[in-house]
C-alpha cells in the first residue's frame, strides 16, 4: 500500500492532511476534481485542491445551510440552489413536503455526475427527486435572468471566491438575488471563516456587500472539522424576516425532521458570535 496524503494548506505554514486512497482525478473546463477515500472521513472530494465535503461530516454543513431558513420561514415553496453539486443541500431541502420547486444551478456538470457515482449519500437526490431541476449554467447569469420575486429561498453553496465561484461574491450578484426573492425571501450563503487572515478578509468583503444590499444581514457559525480552523460561517440575508426574532421553533418541529447537528437550541446559539468575529464584521475589509 502506498503511503499517500492529501494536504490542504490553511496558510502557507499550516496544513491539514488526510491519508488517502485516490479514486478519481479529472480536469474539467472549470476546475480540477479529485475524489479520495479515507477511513476516518469516508469518501471525499476536492475542487482545485480545496476540500469540499466528506461523507462523514457533510451532515453538519448541509443541515446548517438549510434548516435555519425553514425554521425562520416555514412557508418556503420555491428554492434556488447555486453550486452544491454534491447534492447534500438539495437533499436537506427536499425533506420539506411543502417545497414545490427546487432549481439547482451547478456550473460544472461533472461535479454532479461524479458525485452520483462516488457519493450517492448526497447525490442520489438528483435521481430521486421529481421537484428538482438541474441547470448546468453559470449561477451569476441564471440569477440575472430570473424574474423578480421568483424564489422564497436562495442557497449559495459555493466554493471560495477564487475560480468558478468568484462571481458569487459580487455586489451585482447580491442585488440580483434580492430582486429574484419574494418579499419574505432570504439568501443563505457560504460566508468563509473568520480565523485565518486570508479567509477573514473574504468574509469581511462579502459581509459588507450583503449588508449594503439587504435590510437584514446576519451571520451564523457552524463547527466543521474538515474546514480551515474548524469554524465556518454562513450569511443569512433577508428582506423582512430576521432569523433570531422571527424564529419559529414550534412550527419547524411540526416537520418532525430527524437531524444530527441542527436543533432549535443550536438555531439561536449559532447566531451568537465570538467578540472578535463581531468586531471583524463591523470593520472595513
Does position 275 bind a copy of itself by CB under 8 A? yes
Q: Which three cell numbers stand for residue 150?
A: 421568483
One of 249, 272, 283, 285 touching a copy of itself (CB under 8 A): 272
Q: Contact 215/207 with Cβ under 8 angstroms?
A: no
One of 1, 2, 13, 29 touching a copy of itself (CB under 8 A): 13
Q: Which stretch binds a copy of itself (CB under 8 A): 22-30, 71-79, 84-92, 217-225?
A: 217-225
Q: Which three cell numbers stand for residue 148?
A: 423578480
> Exposed/middle/buried for 133, CB within 10 Å: 0-12, 13-18, 19+?
exposed
Angle at Cα 202 formed by Cα 197 and Cα 204, nearest 5°? Answer: 90
Q: Which of 34, 86, 108, 157 is catalytic?
A: 157
Count of residues interacting with a copy of itself (CB under 8 A) = 44
Cα of first residue to Cα of last residue in the chain, in angstroms, is 47
One of 28, 150, 184, 229 touching a copy of itself (CB under 8 A): 229
One of 269, 282, 283, 285 touching a copy of itself (CB under 8 A): 269
Does position 268 bind a copy of itself by CB under 8 A? yes
Q: Smallest distance from the beta carbon of 37 to a copy of itself, in angstroms?
A: 10
Contacts of 85 (CB under 8 A, 6+ apart): 106, 108, 111, 112, 115
Q: What is the footprint of a copy of itself within residues 118-147 (CB under 8 A)?
A: none
Question: Running DSSP on this structure, what letter comes out for residue 107?
Answer: S
CB-nearer residue toward a copy of itself: 29 or 260: 260
Does position 24 bind a copy of itself by CB under 8 A? no
Catalytic residue flag (residue 157): yes
> Exposed/middle/buried for 180, CB within 10 Å: 0-12, 13-18, 19+?
buried
Does position 14 bind a copy of itself by CB under 8 A? yes
Q: Which x/- pattern over 244-263 shows residues binding a copy of itself (rule: CB under 8 A)?
A: ---------------xxxxx
Tell me the DSSP string of 16-30.
Answer: EEEE-EEEEEEE-SS
3-state secondary structure at position 234 = strand
Active site residues: 157
Provide the binding-site residues for a copy of itself, judged by CB under 8 A: 5, 7, 11-19, 38-41, 57, 60, 195-196, 221, 223-225, 228-231, 259-263, 265-266, 268-276, 278
Amino acid at each position: 500500500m502506498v503511503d499517500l496524503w492529501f494536504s490542504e494548506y490553511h496558510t502557507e505554514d499550516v496544513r491539514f492532511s488526510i491519508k488517502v486512497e485516490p479514486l478519481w482525478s479529472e480536469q474539467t473546463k472549470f476546475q480540477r476534481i479529485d475524489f479520495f477515500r479515507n477511513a476516518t472521513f469516508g469518501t471525499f472530494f476536492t475542487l482545485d485542491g480545496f476540500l469540499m465535503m466528506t461523507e462523514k461530516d457533510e451532515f453538519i454543513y448541509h443541515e446548517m445551510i438549510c434548516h435555519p431558513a425553514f425554521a425562520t420561514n416555514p412557508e418556503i415553496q420555491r428554492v434556488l440552489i447555486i453550486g452544491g453539486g454534491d447534492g447534500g443541500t438539495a437533499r436537506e431541502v427536499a425533506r420539506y413536503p411543502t417545497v414545490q420547486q427546487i432549481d439547482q444551478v451547478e456550473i460544472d456538470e461533472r461535479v454532479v455526475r461524479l458525485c452520483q457515482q462516488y457519493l450517492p449519500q448526497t447525490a442520489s437526490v438528483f435521481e430521486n427527486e421529481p421537484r428538482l431541476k438541474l441547470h448546468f449554467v453559470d449561477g451569476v447569469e441564471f440569477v440575472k435572468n430570473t424574474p423578480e420575486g421568483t424564489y422564497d429561498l436562495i442557497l449559495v453553496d459555493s466554493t471560495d471566491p477564487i475560480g468558478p465561484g468568484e462571481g458569487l461574491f459580487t455586489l451585482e450578484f447580491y442585488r440580483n438575488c434580492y430582486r429574484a426573492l419574494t418579499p419574505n425571501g432570504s439568501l443563505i450563503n457560504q460566508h468563509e471563516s473568520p480565523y485565518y487572515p486570508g479567509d477573514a478578509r473574504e468574509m469581511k468583503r462579502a459581509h459588507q456587500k450583503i449588508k449594503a444590499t439587504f435590510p437584514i444581514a446576519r451571520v451564523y457559525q457552524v463547527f466543521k472539522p474538515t474546514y480551515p480552523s474548524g469554524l465556518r460561517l454562513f450569511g443569512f440575508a433577508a428582506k423582512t424576516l430576521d432569523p433570531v426574532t422571527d424564529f419559529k421553533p414550534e412550527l419547524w418541529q411540526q416537520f418532525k425532521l430527524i437531524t444530527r447537528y441542527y436543533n432549535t437550541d443550536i438555531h439561536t446559539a449559532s447566531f451568537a458570535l465570538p467578540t472578535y468575529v463581531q468586531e471583524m464584521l463591523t470593520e472595513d475589509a
